[in-house]
Amino acid sequence: MGSEWQHIQNISDKGYPFVVYSVPGSSEFRAFYQTDLKTHTTSDLNVSGFVMAPFSQGRPMIYIPAEHQLSFSSTDLPEQTGSNTINLEVVTDLSAQKEAHMFLVKRAIDQIRNSELKKVVVSRRIDFRSDEVAPLQLFQRLRTAYPAAMVYCWYHPQTGYWMGATPETLMNIEGNKITTMSLAGTQTFNGTEKVHWGNKEIEEQALVTEAILEALKPFADSPEKDEVATVRAGNLLHLRTMVSARFDPHRVSPGELARALHPTPAVGGLPAKAAVDFLDRHENYDRSYYTGYFGEINLGENENRKSRLFVNLRCCCYRDGLLSLYAGGGITQDSDPEREWQETENKAETILRVLRQ
C-alpha cells in the first residue's frame, strides 16, 4: 500500500476529518486532512481549503483547512482482493415511497400549472442498513467506475462519511475567470450519445441555462454560453451547456458567486425562492449535504487563486451503519410521474451498481 494512502487510512482510523478526491479525468488523487477534531466553519468562502456546503443556505459550511495536503498517483492505490459484494438491508419501504414520490410529482405539476413556479427538483432518500461498508474502498471503486466524474470521500465527525461521483460543476474560478455549467435532462445510456431528446428535457435544460446567465450578470462581464451538448455520466446521459464569464476578484468574492448560483435550477428550481419554498413544504425530509456543493476553495496566491466547486449529486452518506442514497429529478409541466420515479431509480443505480460489484 502506498505511504500516502496508508496515511489517509490512519487519519480515518483515528476519526480525524479528511477528504480524498479525484477531479474529472485526472489520474491524480488529492487529500486534505486534520490532525485534530476541531470543526472549522465558514459563511462566506473566505478561507483556503476544502469546503462542504449543505443544500440549505441557512446552515454553516464546514471546511478542512489547507494546512495538511497530499497528492499522489492512482497507481498507489492498494489492490482489492476477495468478494466486493456489500450486503445491504433495505430500510425504506420502497412501495410506499414510490406512491409518495409520484404524489409529490403530481403536486409539483399542479403548482407549476397554477403559479409562478416553472420548474422544481424533487428528490428522495433510500436507506439501507449495513455494517460492511468500507468508505475508502467504496471511494476507490467509484473512482474506477466513473473516472470522468468528480469522485470523493469526505469524513467529519459532524457529518459522517459522504461519498459520490458527481457530473456537475457549480463553478471553477481561475484568477478573474469563472466557468460553470447548465446540466439538465436525463435518459439512460444505451451504447450511444446520439439520442433524441424530448421537449420536456430540452425545455428544462434551456430554463437552467437562462437562469445561470441571469444569475451571473450582476457579478460578471457578458456571460457567454457554448452550444448544447449530450454528455455521458456513468449509465446516464444529460444535456449540458458550458457558461463562462470574467469578473473583478477585488470586487466580487467566491462566496458571492456561489450564493448567486446555488441552488441552481438543476437542484432547486425556478424561480429559486418559489422552488425552495415548495420543497420546504412538501419534500418531507432533510437533504442535508445532498444537492449542496463541495470542493477546493482559494488555493494558490493572490491573482492566481483557484477554486473548484461541484454540486453534490450521485452521492451517499454512511453513518452508524446506515447508508443513505439520494436521487431526484426536475419537474416541469410536461413531466410524467411514472417516468420521474424511474429517473430517480436510474440515478440511484449510479451508487448501487458499485456496491453490488
pLDDT digits (tens, 9 = 90+) for 146-185: 988 999 999 999 999 999 999 899 999 999 999 999 988 8
> Largest alpha-carbon pair distance within the chain?
60
How far, in Å, are 24, 162, 271 from residue 254 at the CA level? 21, 23, 22
Quickly tell me which residue has 470523493 as its cell.
152
Q: Which residue blocks in 168-246 are alpha helix, DSSP H? A: 199-216
Q: Which pLDDT score is estimated for 168? A: 92
Q: Are residues 94 and 126 in contact, defined by beta-carbon separation less than 8 angstroms?
A: yes
Assign 204 to helix, strand or coil.
helix
Superfamily designation of domain 3-88+94-355: Anthranilate synthase (3.60.120.10)
Q: Are residues 318 and 163 in contact, defined by beta-carbon separation less than 8 angstroms?
A: yes
CA angle 274, 225, 268 (to 5 degrees): 20
Q: Is the dihedral of CA 115, 59, 284, 238 positive or negative?
A: positive
CA angle 223, 227, 231 (to 5 degrees): 115
CA separation for the pair 336, 97 (Å, rounded): 17
Q: Which pLDDT score is estimated for 75? A: 67
Q: Please name the helix (run of DSSP H) or strand (run of DSSP E) that holds residue 4, with its range, or none.
A: helix 3-14
Q: Which amino acid is at 191?
A: G
How far, in Å, are 57, 122, 280, 287, 337 from residue 284 at the CA level? 18, 10, 7, 9, 18
Q: Which pLDDT score is estimated for 240? A: 94
What would the pLDDT profile of 66-106 be if each residue is shown by its tens digit? 999 998 887 666 666 545 678 899 999 999 999 999 999 99
Give the HSE-up count for residue 3: Cα atoms under 13 Å, Cβ half-sphere: 1
Q: What is the DSSP string of 134-189?
A: -HHHHHHHHHHH-TTSEEEEEEETTTEEEEEEE--EEEEEETTEEEEEEEEEEEE-
Q: Count of residues for the chain?
A: 357
**Domains of the chain: which residue ranges?**
3-88+94-355
What does each of the 357 residues of the chain score in pLDDT, given as a tens digit?
468 888 999 999 999 999 999 998 788 999 999 999 999 999 889 999 999 999 998 888 999 999 999 988 876 666 665 456 788 999 999 999 999 999 999 999 999 999 999 999 999 999 999 988 899 999 999 998 998 899 999 999 999 999 999 989 999 999 999 999 998 888 889 889 889 999 888 988 888 899 999 999 999 888 999 999 999 988 889 999 999 999 998 899 999 999 999 998 889 999 999 999 999 999 999 999 999 999 999 998 777 789 999 999 999 999 999 999 999 999 999 899 999 999 999 999 989 999 887
- The pTM of the full predicted model, rounded to 2 decimals, is 0.93
Q: Which pLDDT score is estimated for 1? A: 46
> Which residues, including other chains, have CB under 8 Å from residue 115's CB and lie 6 or more apart?
274
φ/ψ of 222, rounded to 5, equals: 40, 65
Q: Quick one: cell of 341?
A: 420515479
